[in-house]
Amino acid sequence: MRILIALDGAESSERALFKAQELNLLKDAEVVLFHAIPHITLPFSMKAYAQLAEKEELEEAEKYLKRIEQSLQGARSISRVVVFGDPRVKIIEEARSREVDLIVMGTKGTTGAVGFLIGSVAQAVIANSPVPVLVVPSKK
């Protein structure tokens, strides 16, 4: 089984990872730890700053996924993927390109008008995923 675990550094995404472990889903699985960094949009005159900020975010994301990888047990293989772009799109693209069987992710629990205006990564992934999605709600 191939499982993509979408992680954004929030407690809710890590809760999803631990729930997948608790349910024994990761045992002997090919696990993809995935993090998407939204692009920084700045005026052209600040392009150098944006590139520096993206480089720092990339390094931090790679350290974060490495730390998460070290906490996992039982998976057959673990790979780490960090990309730039909209997580709602990039999670689906990665799931398709790696032909995963399951996506695991957390949700921050944004609902109502706020959820409608901001949009929910989890809602977008569920709506567009070619495979089942395990969504673990944020701790209330």
Q: Which domain holds residue 72?
A: 2-137
Residue 119 has pLDDT above 80, yes or no: no
Looking at residue 108, its pLDDT comes to 74
Asked if residues 117 and 88 have their Cβ atoms less than 8 Å apart, the reply is no
Residue found under tokens 């480089």: 55
Task: Provide the pLDDT for residue 110.
Answer: 53
Assess contact for 66 and 100: CB atoms under 8 A: no
Q: Report the domain count for the chain.
A: 1
Looking at the chain, the whole-number percentage of residues with pLDDT higher than 70 is 84
For the domain that residue 6 is a member of, what is the CATH number? 3.40.50.620
Q: Of 4-13, 16-25, 115-124, where does mean pLDDT reach its minimum?
A: 115-124
